[in-house]
Amino acid sequence: MQIIDQVIDRLSRETGDGPAPAPVREAIEQVIDQMMQFAEDIDGAIVSSADGVAWAERLPAGLDRHRFAAMSGALLALCDTLAREGSRGEPRNVLIEGESGRIFLLHAGPRLLLTVFTRAGANLGVCLAHARQAAETIAAVAGS
């Protein structure tokens, strides 16, 4: 685990504010805000590139955008490979269930991904539906 932490820390230091132009970043932030408004159990989200660079986010206090962008990119790439190697096609989403809530990872076009954080006891269907809709809108906004 220490090696993984070192790699994530290194990537965090190497990435700047991300490659998203300001108008695209602002549009993505509006999509995140709308998703969180309509699905009250969603308490955070980040959009990042497939290579782990943060583009836009609304994260709970204490979460590092660069670390979560890097971890999300690595995890989704691994899940894509696992699904492909297991002859299951492209994954639609990855779901992590924890004691304090869930984390969804979804493709938002070919270059971006959306990571969504929910509260414990959240309505899975409502949150996932809003996350999928947001991912589609983000893909369109980013021109993916």
Average pLDDT over the chain reads 88
Class of residue 117 by CB neighbours under 10 A (exposed 0-12, middle 13-18, buried 19+): buried
Residue-wise pLDDT tens digits, 86-109:
999 888 899 999 999 999 999 999
Q: What is the number of domains present in the chain?
A: 1
Q: How confident is the model at residue 19 (pLDDT cuts 50, 70, 90)?
A: low
5/39: higher pLDDT: 39
Instruction: Answer whether 47's CB lies under 8 Å from 108's CB.
Output: yes
Q: Which domain holds residue 82?
A: 2-141
Token representation of residue 76? 């989704």
Residue-wise pLDDT tens digits, 51-74:
999 999 999 889 999 999 999 999
Backbone angles phi, psi at 91, to 5 degrees: -70, 140
Q: What percent of the chain has pLDDT over 90?
A: 73
CATH number at residue 30: 3.30.450.30
